[in-house]
Amino acid sequence: MSIETIIGKTVSRWMEGKGDFSDVVISSRIRLARNLEGYPFPNVLSESVAGEVITAVQDAVAKISHEPGPLEFFNLASLSALERFILVEKHLISPIHAESPVGRSVLLKEDQSVSIMVNEEDHLRIQCILPGLNLNDAWSFASQIDDLLEDTLNISYSEILGYLTACPTNVGTGLRASAMVHLPGLVLTHQVNLVLGLLPQLGLAVRGLYGEGSEIIGNLFQVSNQVTIGKTEEDILSNISAVVSQIVDREREARQAMLSEAKDQLEDKVWRAFGTLANARMMPAHEALTLLSDLRLGMDLGIITCPQPEVYNELIVITSPAYLQYLTGREMSAAALDVERAKLIRSRLCL
């Protein structure tokens, strides 16, 4: 399996089919931070020792024969900058991992549901993404991989603190569970700050589409746990699942309130978004995400029945700058990218 195969596959597993609450929850992600005993943390790792860590992980992964199925190894430094940034857009690696590729690598499952970053902030970042609200299955997958790796690798673990990590905020379970939620109803009814403002008190954080420090666009929010220590994995998962399902309820209420109180305005918003997406000849990335959000809302409320939600999931990834550059096979100006983005969106919406 080449990087071209991974990248060329526009539809990742989390974009397909429907999970629970998939009218609001786009995807669920689990990330486990792990480190190998006897090696410094990656931020102080020389290139040669980083290579030793990578080799140890590769050997351990090679011994995994059954589930989660084959994981392909990629040395980040051997990928082009464009390829690395596409992996970021596909949520398979972090921006930090893409920006400094030397001594770093990633292991990927072909359906893009599993990725393992090696030598990011920690030696191992095991990640699993699934569609809808399904943190438990994502956790099972990630945990299974973790167990299989621990059969071979000597993982830093303290009986008192739990898993040891480069940053104290990950110590303990090393678990970050997050759900990407689409909240146009709460945004349009000006309730989003009220609802999401309660999350810090519940030990949860909110971020944008591309994680920490990223802007909120397209009404997409990532809700994740802040605290990784002092609780079991099960407690962390049940807390975030409960909160996310509360958010889903609020979002659905907001949507229904708009449908009953401002149906014309809502239908207008949805159809205008469709009309613009299906006809524009230049489409900036930010506007695309905003209009796709309106369109997705219309799909979820049955205002517009074609195209399907899967098209939305695919488009929010493949219309990102790096992926678009890859699809067209050449370096482009921002204006030329906008033309290609518009063309790609039209091809998906106008069948």
Binding residues vs its own copies (CB under 8 A): 264-265, 267-268, 271-272, 274-282, 335, 338-339, 342
How far, in Å, are 26, 110, 120, 171, 311 from residue 132 at the CA level? 5, 20, 27, 27, 15
Shortest distance (Å) from residue 7 CB to its own copies:
27
**146 vs 287, which CB is nearer to its own copies?**
287
Nearer CB in complex with its own copies: 50/280: 280
Nearest CA to 75 out of 92, 60, 96, 58 is that of 58
CA distance 333 to 289: 20
Find residue 73's DSSP bridge partners.
107
**Is the peptide bond prior to 307 cis by the omega test (within 30 degrees of 0)?**
yes
Tokens describing residue 19: 């999970």
CB of 283 to its own copies, least distance (A): 8
CB of 270 to its own copies, least distance (A): 8
Task: Give CA–CA dist 269/337, Å, rounded.
Answer: 25
Q: Report the nearest approach of its own copies to the CB of residue 114 (Å).
A: 39
Q: Which is nearer to its own copies, 180 or 337 (CB)?
A: 337
Residues 6 or more apart from 259 whose CB is under 8 A from it?
A: 266, 301
Q: Which secondary structure element, helix H or strand E, spans residue 118, and what is its range?
A: strand 114-118
| Residue 312, amino acid | Y
By beta-carbon proximity to its own copies, the closer residue of 26 and 342 is: 342
CA 26: distance to chain centroid? 9
Single-letter amino acid code for the residue at 3: I
Nearest CB to its own copies, comparing residues 33 and 311: 311
Nearer to its own copies, 155 or 339 (CB): 339
Smallest gap from Cβ 301 to its own copies, in A, equals: 13
Residues contacting 346, CB < 8 A, separation 6+: 277, 278, 279, 280
What is the smallest separation between the CB atom of 333 and its own copies, expressed in angstroms?
A: 11
Q: Quick one: 251 or 338, whose CB is closer to its own copies? A: 338
The nearest distance, CB 86 to its own copies, in angstroms, is 25
